[in-house]
Amino acid sequence: MAARRSTPAPPPTPAPQPAAAAEGGEGGRGLSLGGGDSSSGQTAIPSDFQFTFYVERMLALIESNWYKPPVPHGTRAMVRFRITSAGRLEAIELEESSGVPSFDRSALRALYAANPLPPLPPAYGKPSVTVHLTFSE
């Protein structure tokens, strides 16, 4: 009788997270949605953009292109940009400086390097979405 080999079970697939989880702050990611002033109607991402999978992919692509310079803990910069339906990043601008020029430039460079992103989900139905993204150390 031949000996049976057992193969290890693959690791479980993580469960999808709700959109609120993508808007964390200090979750170790370094990137977070937010900082917009909701009283003026300016938020991290429009409330009608309910595509968590797209937000997670966007953050992963931008973060993979972000090379952080050495800066003090707590350093943060906020950027604003628009994603077109085709995935192009436009109107990229520094919204709030960290006070450290190299950190600000690294945040902007991450966006330019990640351009273009995947196209927006067809179900969104609008020509673009504006995002406010915080880079923090």
Domains of the chain: 29-136 (3.30.1150.10)
Give 46-104 as a DSSP string.
-TT---HHHHHHHHHHHHHT--PPP--TT-EEEEEEEEETTS-EEEEEEEE--S-HHHH
Partners of 33 in beta bridges:
133
Sign of the CA dihedral running 49, 53, 59, 65: negative
Tell me which DSSP letter residue 121 carries: P
What does the pLDDT read at residue 92? Answer: 97
Would you write out the chain's pLDDT as a tens digit for each of its 137 residues? 555 565 555 555 443 343 333 434 334 458 888 654 443 444 588 888 999 999 999 999 999 999 999 999 999 999 999 999 999 999 999 999 999 999 999 999 999 999 999 999 999 999 999 999 999 98
- CA-atom Rg of the chain in angstroms: 18
